[in-house]
């Protein structure tokens, strides 16, 4: 395990570096574009990304999950899966082009006729290197993944800035994403084929076992994607592109920093869990270790966003967007609770139990959209409270479906790390909100002072209550 530990900690370092780069480039891009584009442009892009993200799920067919789970895949099986993935990418792109007029008509936005087919060019390009990236992740080549992600993130930023300043409007957002997806996947292809070369070989029977695992995952992802996107779809329909633009900027501010945590945990922990899938005792120990770290990181990110939302919005988006602050407060709490389940989701994939994920998401999709629709009859803020309410109601059923069945963990034991995290962050939040209320400096100064105080208090409390965890991480 010593060699594996070294790979894990090296992987965390490299993935952290690439993730920080991605978040910084996206935040710089947003900070510039929000001053050059209209609110409605961000609303249009939100709708485009919903379509593109949904298509991505079908293109993959859950194949990446099967590759991570299976430890004995042959080169012929790998090649068959690759060509199936390529063919699916082309077919799905053609289907999207055909249904784009229907989507544009539904939302009464003629601009979607061009934006959707253009943005979704990323789908066939993604199929070129998606499988190779998964292979690199499975074999713990985290350094290669990090370097490629950094290069593609910088290319996306350059494209966004160039097209925004040359007057391309909403197309700056499209070209930025296209550059990032295309460059990254082409590089992944050439790196990946050196490890497992792709043969001109296809046999459908060789893909069936992987498609069975992936099929559950795909159904689950489709349902989960709609559940996670219903807020955008419903607000866009009932409250218009401008209202959706405001909501999406708030949601973007909450979810962008969280990208510092989720990729680091999932890219490193999932392949490690898959290697432990036959050792329940070791799996449980590793699960609680990862869960504790992820919980504190999520607390720092989401509860930090909650505490610092007002000064950050004022200097990052501009004071005219302060209307986003109440939305950010509610969304930060919602995502903090929701993302606590990320770690058990990794175990679900590692054990190949994607059927549990599918049935859970069927339950969720029967409940959440109705709550959101009711909230949208009133205002955007009520929609965010509806999201939070739905998450709270589903807390106990979620534990029963996942943790109880997969690892046999009692409810209180499962949420122990969550309660500890909340306890640690109460004081930093209160002090930060009081400072924001009484400081009268420019917004960026208030943000820097409050952010520093929030960080210092958090670190001191962790030293007091989680000294062994902090020392272990620092020593590594």
pLDDT tens-place string over residues 251-269: 888 887 666 666 666 666 6
Is 34 within 8 Å of 317 (Cβ atoms)? yes
C-alpha torsion angle, residues 254, 255, 257, 263 (rounded to 10): 160
pLDDT in tens, 357-384: 778 888 888 888 888 888 888 888 888 8
The residue-averaged pLDDT of 304-314 equals: 92
Give the pLDDT of residue 161.
87
How many whole angstroms separate alpha carbon 395 and alpha carbon 298? 17
Q: Is the pLDDT of residue 452 over 80?
A: yes
Write b or e for each residue in 208-243: b if 16 or more Cβ atoms lie within 10 A of its Cβ, otherwise e: eebbebbbbbbbbbbbbbbbbbbbbbbbbeebebeb
* Tally of CA atoms within 13 A in the half-sphere of 98 that contains its CB: 6
Residue from 420, 421, 424, 451 nearest 435 by CA: 451
For 136-174, write each residue's pLDDT tens digit: 877 777 788 888 889 998 998 899 889 888 888 778 888
CA dist., res. 132 & res. 192, Å (int): 5
Residues found in the chain: 476
Return the structure tokens found at 5: 């530990």
Whether residue 62 has pLDDT greater than 70: no
Number of alpha carbons in the 13 Å side-chain half-sphere of residue 243: 17
Give the mean pLDDT of 428-449: 92
Does position 71 have pLDDT exceeding 60, yes or no? yes
* pLDDT tens digit sequence for 173-232: 888 888 888 888 899 888 888 877 888 888 877 777 677 666 676 777 777 777 767 777
Tokens of 79: 């090649």
Are 77 and 259 in contact by the 8 Å Cβ rule? The answer is no
Closest CA to 249 of 52, 22, 45, 19: 45
Distance of alpha carbon 350 from alpha carbon 344, whole angstroms? 10
Average pLDDT over residues 66-83: 76
For residue 417, give the H/E element and its range.
Answer: helix 416-438
* In the predicted structure, residue 415 carries a pLDDT above the cut 60: yes
Distance from C-alpha of 113 to C-alpha of 129, rounded to nearest angstrom:
27
Contact, 342 vs 327, CB < 8 A?
A: no
Calpha distance 431→457 (Å, rounded): 9
CA distance 383 to 199: 50
Q: What is the pLDDT of residues 102-127, one digit of tens each?
A: 888 887 878 888 888 888 888 888 88
pLDDT band at 428 (very low <50, low <70, confident <90, very high): very high
Task: Give yes or no for residue 1 having a pLDDT over 50.
Answer: no
Which whole number is the average pLDDT over 336-349?
A: 82
Q: pLDDT-based confidence at 12, cuts 50/70/90?
A: low
145 and 267 Cβ atoms separated by less than 8 Å:
yes
Question: What is the model's pLDDT at position 445?
Answer: 92
pLDDT higher than 60, residue 5: no
Distance CA 126, CA 58 (A): 12
Coarse DSSP helix, strand, coil percentages of the chain, rounded to the nearest 5 percent = 85, 0, 15
Q: What is the pLDDT of residue 347?
A: 79
In angstroms, rounded to a whole number, what is the distance separating the alpha carbons of residues 334 and 389? 9
Query: Quick one: average pLDDT of 417-434?
Result: 94
Average pLDDT, the chain: 81
Dump the DSSP string for 131-191: HHHHHHHHTT-HHHHHHHHHHHHHHHHHHHHHHHHTT-TTHHHHHHHHHHHHHHHHHHHHH
On whether the CB atoms of residues 139 and 195 are closer than 8 A, the answer is yes
pTM surpassing 0.75? no
What does the pLDDT read at residue 433?
94
Closest CA to 312 of 30, 45, 39: 30
**Average pLDDT for residues 71-75, to the nearest whole number?**
72
Report how far residue 414's alpha carbon sits from residue 400's, in angstroms, rounded to the nearest whole number: 10
pLDDT band of residue 246 (cuts 50, 70, 90) is confident
> Residue 115 is encoded by which pair of tokens?
């934006």
């Amino acid at each position: 395990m010593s060699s594996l530990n070294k790979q894990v900690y090296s992987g965390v370092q490299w993935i952290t570096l690439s993730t920080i780069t991605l978040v910084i480039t996206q935040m710089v891009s947003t900070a510039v574009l929000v001053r050059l584009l209209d609110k409605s442009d961000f609303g249009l892009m939100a709708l485009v990304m919903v379509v593109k993200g949904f298509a991505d799920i079908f293109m993959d067919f859950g194949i990446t999950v099967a590759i991570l789970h299976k430890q004995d895949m042959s080169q012929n099986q790998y090649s068959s899966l690759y060509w199936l993935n390529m063919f699916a990418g082309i077919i799905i792109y053609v289907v999207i082009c055909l249904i784009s007029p229907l989507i544009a008509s539904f939302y009464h936005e003629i601009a979607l006729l061009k934006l959707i087919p253009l943005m979704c060019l990323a789908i066939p390009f993604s199929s070129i290197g998606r499988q190779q990236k998964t292979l690199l992740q499975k074999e713990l080549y985290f350094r290669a993944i990090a370097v490629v992600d950094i290069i593609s993130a910088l290319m996306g930023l350059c494209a966004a800035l160039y097209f925004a300043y040359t007057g391309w409007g909403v197309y700056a957002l499209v070209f930025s994403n296209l550059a990032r997806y295309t460059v990254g996947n082409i590089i992944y292809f050439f790196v990946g084929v050196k490890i497992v070369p792709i043969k001109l070989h296809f046999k459908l029977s060789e893909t069936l076992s992987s498609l069975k695992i992936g099929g559950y995952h795909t159904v689950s992802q489709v349902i989960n994607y709609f559940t996670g996107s219903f807020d955008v779809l419903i607000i866009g329909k009932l409250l218009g592109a401008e209202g959706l633009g405001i909501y999406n900027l708030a949601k973007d501010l909450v979810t962008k920093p969280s990208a510092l945590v989720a990729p680091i945990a999932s890219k490193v922990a999932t392949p490690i869990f898959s290697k432990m899938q036959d050792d329940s005792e070791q799996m449980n120990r590793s699960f609680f270790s990862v869960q504790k770290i992820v919980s504190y990181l999520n607390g720092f990110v989401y509860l930090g966003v909650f505490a610092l939302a007002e000064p950050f919005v004022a200097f990052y988006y501009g004071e005219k967007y302060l209307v986003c602050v109440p939305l950010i407060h509610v969304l930060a709490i919602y995502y903090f609770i929701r993302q606590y389940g990320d770690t058990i989701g990794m175990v679900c994939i590692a054990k190949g139990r994607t059927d549990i994920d599918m049935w859970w998401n069927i339950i969720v999709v029967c409940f959440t959209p109705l709550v959101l629709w009711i909230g949208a009859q009133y205002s955007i803020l009520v929609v965010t409270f509806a999201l939070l309410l739905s998450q709270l109601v589903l807390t106990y059923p979620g534990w029963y479906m996942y943790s109880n069945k997969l690892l046999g963990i009692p409810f209180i034991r499962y949420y122990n790390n969550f309660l500890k995290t909340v306890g640690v962050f109460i004081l930093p939040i209160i002090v930060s909100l009081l400072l924001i209320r009484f400081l009268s400096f420019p917004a960026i100064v208030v943000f820097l002072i409050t952010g520093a105080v929030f960080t210092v208090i958090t670190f001191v409390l962790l030293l007091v209550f989680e000294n062994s965890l902090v020392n272990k991480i620092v020593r590594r």
